[in-house]
Amino acid sequence: MTGSWLELPPDTGYGPANLPHGVFSTPGTAPRTGIAIGDRVLDLAAATGDDVHATGTLNAWLAQGPQVWAALRAQLVEWFTDESHRGDVEPHLLPRADVTMHLPIEVADYVDFYSSQHHAENLGAMFRPDSAALTPNWKHLPIGYHGRAGTVAVSGTPVVRPCGQRKAPAEDAPTFGPSQRLDIEAEVGFVVGVGSELGTAVPVGRFADHVFGVCLVNDWSSRDLQAWEYVPLGPFLGKSFLTSVSPWVVPLAALEAARVAPPTRDPQPLPYLRDDAEPWGLDISLEVRLNGEVLSRPPFDLMYWTPAQQLAHLTVNGASLRTGDLFASGTVSGPRADQRGSFIELSWGGREPLTLADGSTRTFLEDGDEVVLTASAPGPDGSRISFGEVTGRVEPARRD
Amino acid sequence: MTGSWLELPPDTGYGPANLPHGVFSTPGTAPRTGIAIGDRVLDLAAATGDDVHATGTLNAWLAQGPQVWAALRAQLVEWFTDESHRGDVEPHLLPRADVTMHLPIEVADYVDFYSSQHHAENLGAMFRPDSAALTPNWKHLPIGYHGRAGTVAVSGTPVVRPCGQRKAPAEDAPTFGPSQRLDIEAEVGFVVGVGSELGTAVPVGRFADHVFGVCLVNDWSSRDLQAWEYVPLGPFLGKSFLTSVSPWVVPLAALEAARVAPPTRDPQPLPYLRDDAEPWGLDISLEVRLNGEVLSRPPFDLMYWTPAQQLAHLTVNGASLRTGDLFASGTVSGPRADQRGSFIELSWGGREPLTLADGSTRTFLEDGDEVVLTASAPGPDGSRISFGEVTGRVEPARRD
């Protein structure tokens, strides 16, 4: 898996060790599955002649399961590293700059977790200043909730500033209008390929039997809507207007070199959440950029709960999985101020505005702002695995 | 719309004024759309020859919108009331007792509201005894949250008792095991036929342009799992193991005679929630039966927030709708003890066990218990519109 006849630069994040899957189109053609390799995309439908890659989403292929995933991966590695395949493969490579990317999966259910201890402590301190920063359940289970699957959209989808109700503590009654505290949440998402039966749990050790891969998630959030609505049943309109995902799904198989031990869990969790045998900590380095300027670098390796624990928890009550289920980590924040994955943390609830390179300041997002999340992880032999990016530009509210 | 050559009994809830849509099959045949009429079902795919009714869900037809819904309804009324059609129609009628019913829609997103003031006050008093029963936001917006669409199942699906974490206040740490407080929530659900665009709101007055019809919902709930997990992000595993829906979707068009004024809202809600021009209060009478015995009769006409307000709230932040979206009212409870739509209310948190006709007592559901929810509403000319039923029997937990 070292060299490739593609003569990729040594620092490419899209070498034969990555091979992320996505859905692309070119002008006048239908969306179909592609594989990112260097600065190109392999038209997988054309290269394989398999219609399962021509459906416009990854779902049908994901449902075929880990053996099929592994077999295709082995074939792709051979194609890209053995020059004897060049003549067959090269005609199906397109410049990535020339294609339009689409939502890679038809999202079945979307679940968002809350698994960064630093993020949960920061938010707890701001939203519930009179209580302990972590709720009593936080270290016993990966807290999560269902989000709106229908508003999960691909990177680049405009972020229309949401309207809604908000009420400052000092006000008597709520008012209606555009959100004044529009925020991001820098997250990592996990894509379920193989479903499960109603009434059965998926143990921690079966994570890779169900989850195909990883994408980046920006769970756009309206903090003023959220603060007024979320007691007692959780976030609703403060989150449901848009969740953006990166177009490329990086296979778990590409992340073997990125696996690390998760933080020590204290207290020891209940047996169904123990992951000593096969932990799924992942050394993914995120970067948050606003209008081109790096604001923070959240470290995923510090997440308290791993995606394998999240999946085990999600299903321990017998809830079934479906192909296309997406679950996200929750905002990734580290202990340092420059490792925070949301503006509410970066500006400490709006009380400590950020000063940007151009001299302007920010507490939350302004119309016209563009946020880009990127990430990478260690690959084999010193290489890097790139997750690409998830972007969005804020547009003004459509009513007020 | 008075008589029918079908010679239906006067008290049928399935006369030509109802015409609920569902998906059925007979042994060896594929699921397809049917219309309930008397004690029979019309094979709509066969009767119309239209493949849109042979897809196994209502979704493709629902997406065609209100004009198509109305045109089919007019045709069905003519078929069932004008005896000249008898020869064409009768061959496509099957006894309902002979068919298997399926989930009528492929559920896109599932949202559950919390719109009964009596239920919210009861739950608030039990879950948060040290605070006001209603949270400060309750009378300003219809509180809701997203549930798990993938575990919405048709009536009759076994209710496997969920396992999970629970912690009594007096305990130091959570324990794992089968839920000890398995409950029901008697609700009414609304099925979206026509989607909406991301970034646009659906005003109260456009409710019937998007919503096709109404079903019954039993949002099975594990109160011990819920109580431990739900702060701060809301219910998750306490709800996600199963939500059962009735197989027949009653068109809004069948409910004109059931429309009533909703309760007076005080304080006046914000303008986007005002419904004076076209209120959608509905006089639906529910009934909760346990093992054949009537436990309560929750009145839907007392719901504080109507489904039109719920839809307007759900979309006011620009969240888009999709065909197949399902939103439910939240537990329907009236002011009296025999109008409560959940066991946690009927047994007041388990402190006041119910005594059943056989002399046994119940706080929450026991293995083997069967719950049946039924409902009806006024139809034209003194007739009744039946919603059928949603049932489920509790099976023992599969691990402990």
3-class SS shares of chain B: helix, strand, coil, % to 5: 25, 30, 45
Q: Give domain B21-102's CATH architecture.
A: Roll (2.30)
For residues B134 and B124, the answer to whether their CB atoms sit within 8 Å is yes
Q: Would the pLDDT of A41 be above 80?
A: yes
Pairing mode, strands B384-395 and B159-160:
parallel
DSSP symbols for A237-304? HHHHT-EEE-S-BEEGGGGGGGEEPPPPPSSPPPGGG--SSS--EE-PEEEEEETTEEEE--BGGG-S
Contact A127 B234 (CB under 8 A): no
Domain B110-395 fold: Fumarylacetoacetate hydrolase; domain 2 (3.90.850)
Residue of A nearest to B159 (CA): A199
- The rounded distance, in Å, linking the Cα atoms of A4 and A83 is 8
Chain B closest CA to A395's CA: distance in Å? 10
Average pLDDT over chain A reads 96
Chain A closest CA to B1's CA: distance in Å? 39
pLDDT of residue A169: 85
Predicted-complex ipTM score: 0.97
Chain A closest CA to B252's CA: distance in Å? 24
- The rounded distance, in Å, linking the Cα atoms of A318 and B241 is 6
Give, in order, the Cα–Cα distances in Å from B238 to each of A313, B87, B150: 12, 51, 15
> Per residue in B117-170, pLDDT tens?
999 999 989 878 888 999 999 999 999 999 999 999 999 999 999 999 999 889
Q: Which residues of A touch B201 (CB under 8 A)?
A: 163, 399
Q: Where are the alpha helices (DSSP H) in chain A?
A: 44-48, 59-62, 66-81, 86-89, 117-127, 207-210, 223-229, 237-240, 307-315, 343-346
pLDDT of residue A2: 54
> Per residue in B227-265, pLDDT tens?
999 999 999 999 999 999 999 999 999 999 999 999 999
CB-closest option in B140, B157, B234 to A233:
B234
CB-closest option in B167, B175, B322 to A150:
B322
Locate the domains of chain A by residue range: 21-102, 110-395
Contact B237 A316 (CB under 8 A): yes
pLDDT of residue A258: 98
Q: Which residues pair with A84 in a beta bridge?
A: none
Testing the interface with B: which of A128, A134, A182, A240 to mutate, by most B Cβ within 10 A?
A240
pLDDT of residue B145: 98
More confident residue, A128 or A43: A43
Q: Is A51 exposed, middle or buried (0-12, 13-18, 19+ CB in 10 A)?
A: exposed
CB-based contacts of B36: which residues, under 8 Å, 6+ apart? B14, B18, B19, B20, B22, B96, B248, B388
CB-closest option in B150, B174, B240 to A322:
B150
Average the pLDDT over A267-289 and give the result: 96
Q: Which residue out of A53, A102, A118, A119 is catalytically annotated?
A: A119
Please give the order of strands across the beta sheet that includes B159-160: B159-160, B384-395, B370-378, B285-290, B293-296
Q: Which of A380, A209, A186, A214 is nearest to A282 (CA)?
A: A214
> Per residue in A349-389, pLDDT tens?
999 999 999 999 999 999 999 999 999 999 999 999 999 99
Active site residue A119: yes
Amino acid at the residue A132 = A
pLDDT of residue B1: 45
pLDDT of residue B2: 55
Average pLDDT over chain B reads 96
Q: Where are the alpha helices (DSSP H) in chain B?
A: 44-48, 59-62, 66-81, 86-89, 117-127, 207-210, 223-229, 237-240, 307-315, 343-346
> Per residue in A49-97, pLDDT tens?
999 999 999 999 999 999 999 999 999 999 999 999 999 999 999 999 9
Q: Would the pLDDT of A1 be above 70?
A: no
Chain A closest CA to B145's CA: distance in Å? 5
Query: CA dihedral in degrees (B168, B170, B172, B174; nearest 10)?
Result: -10
Spans of chain B, pLDDT less than 70? 1-2, 399-400
> Per residue in A312-328, pLDDT tens?
999 999 999 999 999 99
Neighbours of A94 (CB within 10 A): 16
CB-closest option in A234, A321, A398 to B234:
A234
CA atoms within 13 A on the CB side of A147: 32
List b or e across B191-213, with b for residues whose CB sees 16 or more CB atoms inside 10 angstroms: bbbbbbebbebbbbebbbebbbb
Kindly state the tokens that stand for B126: 């039990």
Kindly state the tokens that stand for B109: 């997103």
